[in-house]
């Protein structure tokens, strides 16, 4: 592993990315994942296409982007995993060591999201396998469509793929930053880009681009509800991998004094472009085959294979390519979800990285079982605000980790960086050329993001859907 000294951190002899481009590749790889290919299209489909995008874009620009800069800044300043970075900054700034709880919350959120992520990854692996074997070719639409429901009830299949996915992630992470995570990101991110171009060419040939474009551009201001705003804002945080310490970790691995603003701006643009392109591609296939855009979480799993199955030419090839694309994006994000926990364990417990990766992997495997079995009856009933609710662990994780912990972690971090850390320090660390840029960032992080995130937390806690 390469090490380097960083001037903003006195104690730092630290592990770092091997090249200037690695931060960009890794951050782009971590941010493009299920959020872009699976969640963004189905959320847009459920919330009227263009209406969702109209709310999503300001959330990404005014809340998520400034927060991404803030998280990277914390990593650069603290130079370590989220918990130790925050502890070190709190010490330097003479603040309470309680601020390190933001790091703890981030680790917990990342872990919970991983368990949920690995279940969706298990569906992806199942579809890769069946597409490659041509199992859907020429099969009637209703049967293909029902295959998703059947998979959800088939815990043995999901268990097998979930186990394989966790193993894939752990094996890469045991190999260390430069030889494991960085090398995997360098291979997978270009593959991912190549597959996107290939699939877009395909969609433009067989899909209904005009209908998809019309759907994604049509908006209705009266359809903007509090629930839509919560979905759009949490989607922006999720998509840019915020509120979980991942960007703190990546910022800590940043070797040079590259501009945080321009690097994170590229990541945000890339992430948003991928989400929009994927939505365009998926809806053009959905509309061309007369299917509904509001199918919810099953959108890409229950509708796309139907479309692929109806194609006469190279159906298996296209379908396999799509799910391989999804898998490569899922893997790069999954590495980023577990990396902060592994780094924290090696830093704090002084154990080897290999042991830390296997321990976290084993725990994540067990955690994933709870989500996995929620589709075959492992559900909880409880009363909240006088209404009886019946949720599986998978739905609860969505509510607790994505709608509550993630905004809370992001809110606390924004408050910490702008209200508690000295202004001069953040100014030096961001080293933005234009003072107006710095002021805008500070305003968004200090006022806009805390207000928006507090509103989300209040809505989720006190006005549940």
Interatomic CA distance for residues 345 and 360, integer angstroms:
9
CB of 248 to ligand PFF, least distance (A): 10
CB of 181 to ligand PFF, least distance (A): 12
Rank residues 128 and 432 by Cβ distance to ligand PFF and give the closer one.
128
Q: Among all residues, whose Cβ is closest to ligand PFF?
A: 35
Beta carbon nearer to ligand PFF, 31 or 145: 31
Taking the complex as a whole, the smallest distance from the CB of residue 99 to ligand PFF amounts, in Å, to 20
- CB nearer to ligand PFF: give 208 or 339: 339
Taking the least distance from each CB to ligand PFF, the nearer of 40 and 126 is 40
User: Smaller CB distance to ligand PFF: residue 337 or 430?
Assistant: 337
Instruction: Kindly state the smallest distance separating residue 30's Cβ from ligand PFF, in Å.
Output: 5
Confirm if 286 and 48 have CB atoms less than 8 A apart: no
In angstroms, give the least distance from the CB of 172 to ligand PFF.
14
**Among residues 176 and 245, whose Cβ is nearest to ligand PFF?**
245
Q: Does residue 296 come out as left (phi exceeding 0), alpha (psi in the -120 to 50 range) or beta? A: left
Which residue, 148 or 405, is less far from ligand PFF as judged by CB? Answer: 405
Q: What are phi and psi of 242, to 5 degrees?
A: -105, 165
Smaller CB separation from ligand PFF, 238 or 308: 238
| Number of neighbours of residue 364 by Cβ within 10 angstroms | 24
Nearest distance from C-beta of residue 325 to ligand PFF, angstroms: 13
- Report yes or no: 405 and 414 within 8 Å, Cβ to Cβ: no
Q: How far is the CB of 408 from ligand PFF (least distance, A)?
A: 15
Binding site for ligand PFF (CB under 6 A): 30-31, 33-36, 110, 113, 238-239, 241, 244, 246, 333, 336-337
Q: How far is the C-alpha of 149 from the C-alpha of 145, rounded, in Å?
A: 8
Taking the complex as a whole, the smallest distance from the CB of residue 31 to ligand PFF amounts, in Å, to 5
CB of 225 to ligand PFF, least distance (A): 23
Q: Between 113 and 260, whose beta carbon lies closer to ligand PFF? A: 113
Least distance to ligand PFF from the beta carbon of 340, Å?
8
Check if the beta carbon of residue 65 is closer than 8 Å to that of residue 268.
yes
Which residue number, 34 or 369, has a Cβ lying nearer to ligand PFF?
A: 34
Is there a contact between 283 and 293 (Cβ–Cβ < 8 Å)?
yes
Cβ proximity of 53 and 216 under 8 Å: yes
């Amino acid at each position: 592993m390469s090490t380097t000294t960083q001037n903003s951190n006195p104690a730092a002899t630290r592990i770092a990315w091997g090249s200037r481009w690695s931060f960009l590749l890794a951050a782009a790889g971590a941010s493009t994942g299920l959020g872009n290919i699976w969640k963004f299209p189905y959320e847009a489909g459920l919330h009227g296409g263009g209406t969702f995008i109209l709310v999503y874009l300001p959330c990404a620009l005014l809340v998520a982007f400034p927060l991404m800069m803030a998280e990277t800044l914390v990593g650069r300043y603290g130079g370590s995993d989220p918990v130790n970075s925050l502890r070190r900054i709190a010490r330097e700034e003479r603040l309470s060591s309680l601020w390190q709880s933001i790091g703890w919350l981030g680790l917990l959120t990342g872990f919970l999201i991983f368990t949920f992520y690995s279940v969706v990854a298990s569906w992806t692996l199942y579809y890769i396998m069946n597409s490659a074997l041509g199992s859907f070719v020429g099969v009637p639409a209703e049967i293909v469509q029902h295959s998703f429901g059947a998979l959800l009830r088939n815990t043995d299949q999901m268990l097998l793929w979930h186990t394989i996915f966790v193993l894939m992630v752990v094996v890469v992470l045991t190999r260390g930053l430069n030889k494991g995570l960085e090398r995997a990101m360098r291979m997978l991110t270009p593959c991912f880009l190549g597959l996107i171009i290939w699939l877009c060419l395909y969609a433009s040939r067989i899909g209904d681009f005009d209908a998809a474009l019309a759907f994604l551009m049509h908006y209705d201001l009266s359809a903007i509800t509090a629930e839509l705003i919560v979905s759009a804002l949490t989607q922006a945080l999720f998509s840019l991998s915020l509120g979980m310490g991942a960007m703190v970790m990546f910022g800590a691995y940043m070797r040079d004094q590259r501009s945080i603003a321009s690097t994170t701006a590229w990541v945000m643009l890339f992430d948003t472009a991928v989400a929009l392109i994927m939505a365009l591609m998926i809806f053009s296939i959905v509309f061309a085959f007369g299917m509904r855009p509001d199918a919810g979480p099953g959108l890409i799993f229950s509708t796309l294979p139907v479309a692929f199955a109806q194609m006469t030419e190279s159906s298996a090839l296209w379908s396999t390519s799509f799910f391989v694309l999804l898998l490569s994006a899922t893997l790069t994000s999954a590495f980023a979800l577990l990396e902060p926990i592994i780094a924290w364990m090696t830093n704090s417990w002084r154990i080897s990285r290999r042991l830390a990766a296997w321990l976290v992997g084993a725990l994540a495997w067990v955690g994933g079982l709870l989500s996995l079995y929620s589709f075959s009856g492992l559900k909880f009933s409880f009363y909240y605000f006088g209404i009886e609710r019946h949720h599986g662990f998978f739905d609860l994780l969505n509510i607790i980790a994505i709608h509550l912990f993630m905004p809370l972690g992001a809110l606390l971090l924004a408050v910490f960086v702008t209200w508690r850390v000295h202004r001069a320090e953040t100014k030096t660390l961001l080293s933005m050329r234009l003072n107006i840029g710095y002021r805008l960032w500070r305003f968004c992080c200090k006022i806009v993001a805390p207000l928006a995130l507090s509103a989300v937390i209040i809505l989720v806690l006190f006005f549940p859907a």
